[in-house]
Structure 1
Amino acid sequence: MLIKFAGYSLLYIALYICIYIPFVGANIYLLISSYVLFGLTGILLAFNCAHDCVHNTFSKNKRVNKIVFYCVFNSQGVNSRLWHKRHIASHHIFPNVDGCDADIDDNPFMRLSPHHKLRKYQQYQHIYAVFLYLVYTLHWIFVKDFIYLGKKNLANLKDQTHSLAFIAELIILKLLYLTFLIVLPALFTTATFQQIMIAFIAMHFIISLFFVLTLIISHLCLETEFPEVNENGELPYNYYEHQLAVSLDYHPESKLANFIFGGFNSHTAHHLFPNMQHTLYTHITPLIREKAIKHKLPYHEKSIPRAIRSHFGYLKKLGAG
C-alpha cells in the first residue's frame, strides 16, 4: 500500500511539473498528453489509496487515513466530505436499493433503477449516455457537489445540514483546484489560455470515461439485481446475500487489475469485506466464488469489455420500460 501511494503520488507531482516545461507548453499535443496522464494518475491515486482511507484500511492510524483521503480527494476537485457520507452511510449499506442508495438517486438524465419513473426520452439513454459520461467529472466538480450541498434529504440520508464554514471551505477548495489547473499554467507556462482550457477539458473527457466505465459496471449491469423492499420495509436478502446479488467483478484475481483499479475490479469482495485492504481481494475472491456456488448464491463475473457491453444493454433495457 505504501509503495503504491509513494509511486502514484510521485508520478502525480511529476506530471503536474511537466506542464510547466517550456517545450511541453509550446506543443498542444504534449500539453494535452501531460494533462490527461496527470488526471488519470490522480484517479488511480484515489482508487488505490484514498478509497482505502475512507474505509480505514490504508493505515492503522485513523488520522493518517483522514489526512490522505482529504488531500487526495480534494486535489481532484471534488469534495471529500460530501462523498464520504454518501459512500459509507448510503451506498455501502444499501447498494442498488432505490431510495436508499445515493449512487442511483433518481435524476432527469438517466434511469439507473428499474424502480425509477421512465421518461420518454430515456429510451435513447444507451446512446446518449456516453456523451454524458464524457462530462461526468466536470459535472461532479461544478454541479453535483452543489446539488448535494443544497439537498436536505438524499436517499436514506435525512435532515442534512452544512455549516457556513464547510460551505466556504468547499468553495475555496474548488477555487484552488481551478487555480492549480488553469490559472497558474496560464500565467507561468508557454501555452495560451485557450490551449490550457483545451487540455483541461480533454483531460476531463478522458478521466470521466475511465472513471465511469470502470466503476459503473460494478453494480449497473444486466446481471446485477435491484432488490425491492416489501410492505414491511424489508429487503429479500440478508446483508451478505444482498452484496453478492448486486455486485459484479471483472478480472478479480488479476494482480495487474488489482494494482491498477485498487480492488474496484473485485467489487464483491470489497462489499462483503469493506474493512479489508484491497491488496487482499485477489486471494479471497476464489473462496467467495467457491462458497457462492456451493450454497447456490449469486456471483457475477465478466471481462471488462463484456461488463461494459452489459452495462449499455442494461441502459437500453431500462429505457424500453
Structure 2
Amino acid sequence: MNISQIRFDKEHNVEFYKTLQKRVRDYFKENNIDRYGNWNMKIKTIFMLSLYIVPLVLILTTLENNLAIVFMWMLMGLGMAGIGLSVMHDACHGAYSKRAWVNSVLGFTLNCLGGSDVTWRIQHNVLHHTYTNVTGMDEDIDPGKLMRFSPHAKRYKAHRFQHIYAWFFYGLMTISWITAKDFKQLARYKKLGLTKTQQKSYNHMMTVTIISKIMYYGVTLVLPLILSPMVWWGTVLCFIMLHFIAGLTLGCIFQPAHVVPSSDYPMPDDSGNIKADWAVNQLFNTANFAQKSKWFTWFVGGLNHQVEHHLFPNICHVHYTNLSHIVRKTAEEYNLPYNSQKTFFKALKVHGQMLKALGTQDEFERDFHL
C-alpha cells in the first residue's frame, strides 16, 4: 500500500490530544519558558561532543599505552551514542533551538559520525513518528528477515532464537549506517518520493553523503591507522568496538520503547484507514522506562520518556520529565494507557520477552479499544 493512502481516524478519540496540547501550551506559558533547549542542553552538548572528540585527539597525539588507547575508543563509543541521543536527535527534530541553522549544524553531527542526517530524518521523522508500529510503514520495526519485530511480519525458524542474538545485531547498527544502509535508503526513498520532504535534490543529498563518509573514514579510521602506535589490526578492532558500543546502546534505548507486549501494532484496512487517532496510537505503541532516574534521563536525551517524545517531537527533551506528569494525568482522564517500566533493566527484560514471543508465535491476540 502506498504511504499516501494511509490515514488516521480524525474523528475517533481526538479530544485527548486537543486537551493535552492545551495543557502543555499552558505549562510553557505559565512558567515563561519556550519549548527549545536551555542552559542544561548547552552543557550536555559540550560534554557529549567532548566525550567523542577528546579521546580521538588523545589517540592521534599523545597516548602510547595500548590499554589507554582501547579505553579511549570505548569512551568514543559512549560519546557517539550520547551525541546521537542527546544532541543530534533534538536538532534533527528542530527542537534543539529556535534558530534553524543551529538545528542544521548540530543535526549534521550525524554525518560527522558516519551516518546521514537526511536519511535519518526520513526514516525517523517522516516514517517512524507518523506511522509508529504500522507494519510496512515504520522501518524501525522492519529489520528484514533477520529479526521479527511485528506480529504481522512473516516468522522464520531462526526467529525462535532472536531473543538471544538480537543484542549482537543491535551492536552492528551503526556499522550498517556507515557502510551501505544510507545509500540503499536514499535510492529507495527517491523511488517512493520521500526525498522531496527534505527540500533538497537527490544528487545533492547523495553527494553530501558520499563526501561526509569519506571524511569520516579519513578522520576516524585512516588517521588512527597512521598516527596511533597501536598495531593496525588493533586499531581496526577498536574502530569496530566503538561502533558496537554505540549501536548496542542505541538499540537498547530505542527498541524497548516500541517492541514490547503493550504495543498493539495497528494495521490499515483495505482503504488505508487506521481506526485510531494519531496521538492515541502513540500511547498504545510507545512505552517509557526508568523515568525517575535523573542521571539516566540526562544521558539518554530523555528518550526513556518516549511517550512524551512521540506526542511532542518538536519539544526539546529537557522538558519531558515535567511534561510526563501532564501526559500521564491526561491519559488517565481519558481512560487511555500510559505504558512505563520502573527501571531500564525491566524494560530490557520485557523487550526480550517480546522478542521471544514474536520468534515463537505467528500471531498475537490483543483486545485494545482505541
Fold match, TM over 0.5? Answer: yes
Q: Gaps spanning 5+ residues in structure 1: where?
A: none
Picking from 127, 148, 155, the partner of 2:185 is: 148
> Which residue in 2 is equivalent to 1:289?
328
> Which residue in 1 is equivalent to 2:154?
117
Picking from 48, 56, 66, the partner of 2:94 is: 56
Letter in 2 for 1:186: L
Cα distance between partner residues in 2 of 1:76 and 1:39:
10
Aligned-residue offset at 1:41: 1.0
Aligned Cα root-mean-square deviation (Å):
1.9
> Which residue in 1 is equivalent to 2:302?
263
> Which residue in 2 is equivalent to 1:130?
167
Does the 8 A contact of 2:81 with 2:247 survive in 1? Answer: no
Q: Aligned residues: percent identity?
A: 30
Aligned-residue offset at 1:47: 1.3
Aligned-residue offset at 1:159: 6.4
Seen in structure 2, the aligned counterparts of structure 1 residues 92 and 200 have a Cα distance that, compared at 3 Å, is: same
For residues 226-265 of structure 1, what are the structure 2 equivalents within 5 Å? 226-265=265-304
Aligned-residue offset at 1:39: 2.2
Cα distance between partner residues in 2 of 1:298 and 1:142:
39
Q: Does 1:68 align with 2:109?
A: no
Cα distance between partner residues in 2 of 1:163 and 1:275:
26
Aligned positions, number: 316
Does the 8 A contact of 2:291 with 2:321 survive in 1? Answer: yes
TM-score, with structure 2 as normaliser = 0.80
Letter in 1 for 2:68: L
For residues 58-207 of structure 1, what are the structure 2 equivalents within 5 Å? 58-70=96-108, 72-105=109-142, 107-152=144-189, 157-158=192-193, 163-207=202-246
> Which residue in 2 is equivalent to 1:14?
54
Does the 8 A contact of 2:195 with 2:202 survive in 1? Answer: no
Cα distance between partner residues in 1 of 2:170 and 2:123:
20
Secondary structure of 1:297's match? coil
Secondary structure of 1:259's match? helix
Of the two structures, which has the highest relative contact order with CA contacts closer than 8 Å and spacing of 6 or more? Answer: 2
> Which residue in 2 is equivalent to 1:32?
70
Secondary structure of 1:123's match? helix
**Deviation digits for residues 131-179 of structure 1 (CA, Å, limit 9, x no counterpart):** 222212112221221221332578xx54658633432321221121111
> Which residue in 2 is equivalent to 1:43?
81
Secondary structure of 2:96's match? coil
Cα distance between partner residues in 1 of 2:171 and 2:98:
37
Cα distance between partner residues in 2 of 1:109 and 1:253:
34
Seen in structure 2, the aligned counterparts of structure 1 residues 34 and 246 have a Cα distance that, compared at 3 Å, is: same
Secondary structure of 2:274's match? coil
Does the 8 A contact of 1:40 with 1:207 survive in 2? Answer: yes
Aligned-residue offset at 1:253: 4.0
Aligned-residue offset at 1:21: 4.3
> Which residue in 1 is equivalent to 2:43?
3
Aligned-residue offset at 1:297: 0.6
> Which residue in 2 is equivalent to 1:310?
350
**Deviation digits for residues 202-240 of structure 1 (CA, Å, limit 9, x no counterpart):** 112222111111111111112222112234322122111
Relative to structure 2, which stretch is displaced further, 165-174 or 93-102? 165-174
Secondary structure of 2:273's match? coil
Cα distance between partner residues in 2 of 1:293 and 1:257:
26
**Deviation digits for residues 279-308 of structure 1 (CA, Å, limit 9, x no counterpart):** 111001122112222322111111211111
Cα distance between partner residues in 1 of 2:189 and 2:334:
42
Does the 8 A contact of 1:58 with 1:65 survive in 2? Answer: yes
Secondary structure of 1:151's match? helix
Relative to structure 2, which stretch is displaced further, 226-235 or 44-53? 226-235
Letter in 2 for 1:109: L
Secondary structure of 1:149's match? helix
Cα distance between partner residues in 2 of 1:104 and 1:83:
15
